[in-house]
Amino acid sequence: MRIISGTARGTRLLSPGDISVRPTPDRVREAIFSIIFSRLGPLHGCKVLDLFSGTGAMALEALSRGATRAWLVDSGEEAGRIIPTNIENCHCGDRATLIRREAPAALGRLANDAPYDLIFMDPPYGRGLIPPILAAIDQLQLLAKAGLLVAESGLTDQVPDAVGRLDCLERRRYGTTNIHLFTPTIPKGQ
């Protein structure tokens, strides 16, 4: 696994030694960032939130491509060992913050730095975590008005078309992974 583009291009990322972390494959990450670029353009100046960070690859890819700051949230022991090393290897220590907490518990604290232009969430598959976390993100207004939320799920996970003011614009399938793109609803007349 490596950073695909930007200032840290080609940097190899540490991967987990066990199955407790399921990193997004390079080809899926590349497809996701192609979609992000088509919707948001260059990421210069963007604030990124990466929930269930795992290796930190999504946030670090965004930082490599010009995002200003990233908050990486993961409570896992393996992630807590891997992410700091990957941040250091990508020379992003001054722009990346690791929060070692369960994602649902961290959301209230993350509201202090909101809104985020880009939010990633890749929770463990099959646990039904996406809908309640989307609801919390909506309630706390963590996603910027023109922002994009990218949720990864397993094929059998149920992901709604809308949660509060967050609407699913698009869904794509990559092997055993579904990608769901959410944006805030824009009220009529705005």
Q: Domain extents for the chain?
A: 44-148+174-184
Max CA pair span of the chain: 52
Q: Is the pLDDT of residue 17 over 70?
A: no
pLDDT tier at 189, thresholds 50, 70, 90: low
Q: What percent of the chain has pLDDT over 70?
A: 94
Per CATH, which fold does 44-148+174-184 belong to? Rossmann fold (3.40.50)
Q: How many CA atoms lie within 13 A of 123 on its CB side?
A: 17
Per-residue confidence (pLDDT) for residue 188, from 0 to 100: 56
| Average pLDDT value over all residues in the chain | 92
Query: Which pLDDT band holds residue 176 (cuts at 50, 70, 90)?
Result: confident
**How far lies 22's CA from each of 49, 51, 78, 115, in Å?**
18, 13, 11, 27
Amino acid at 187: P
Q: Which pLDDT score is estimated for 131?
A: 96
Between CA 4 and CA 9 the distance in angstroms is 5
**For residue 98, pLDDT beyond 90:** yes
Residue 66 above 90 pLDDT?
A: yes
What three-state secondary structure class fits 169?
A: strand
Tens of pLDDT, residue by residue over 1-16, are 899 999 999 999 998 7
User: pLDDT tens digits for 112-170?
Assistant: 999 999 999 999 999 999 999 999 999 999 999 999 999 999 999 999 999 999 999 99
pLDDT at 22: 62
Compute the average pLDDT of residues 46-73: 96
Question: What pLDDT does 15 receive?
Answer: 86
Q: What is the mean pLDDT of residues 85-91?
A: 97
pLDDT at residue number 9 = 92
